[in-house]
Homo-oligomer: A and B are copies of this chain.
Amino acid sequence: MFKLSKKADYGLIAVKHLAMHRDEHACSATEIAEEYGISTMLMAKVLQKLARQRIVSAKHGASGGYLLAKEPSQITALDVISAIDGPVLITSCVTNHGNCGAADKCSVREPLRRVNESILSVLSTVTISHMSEEQHEPVLVELQT
């Protein structure tokens, strides 16, 4: 009911970890998983999804692991979340090929679509470097009511 999936959570943790160890070494899934007490297998799967979306890049072989593929300021929370969970849609009928039976009757679709847009813009405003900084300047997000 409106929660981030744990996998997306782990993804954010992993990306932030990589951001903090940028320019040091490639971090293996095992290394990250152990640091935060998460199953290695699961963390590996999360990182694989991030790699497929080119958010991180993988290095095979001994002393391999993952590295950020972009600057931390170029990676948004939305990037990470949608890489792992697919597109962010607050309702199932927002999509075009919506199978929401009562599509034409459903009077809340349009307003909810706008709420969805606002949430997307919140999520894409927050970058990994924002999440690492300590000071937090407020930003204004435009909301179409």
Contact = CB atoms under 8 A, between A and B. Distances in A.
Contact of A138 (B126, B136, B144): B144
A24 interface: no
Contacts of A111: 126, 130-131
Interface in A15-49: 16-17, 20, 35-38
Interface residues of A, number: 55
A136 B114 contact: yes
A37 B102 contact: yes
Interface string A35-69: 11110000000000000000000000000000000
Nearest to A85: B1
Contacts of A85: 1-2
Interface in A97-145: 101-102, 105-108, 111-112, 114-115, 118-119, 122-123, 125-126, 130-131, 133, 136-145
A17 B107 contact: yes
A137 B126 contact: no
A74 to B, nearest CB: 15
Interface string A1-18: 111111011001100110
Given A2-B89, A17-B107, A115-B126, 11 more contacts: A1-B4, A1-B81, A1-B85, A3-B89, A3-B91, A3-B92, A4-B112, A37-B105, A111-B130, A114-B126, A122-B141
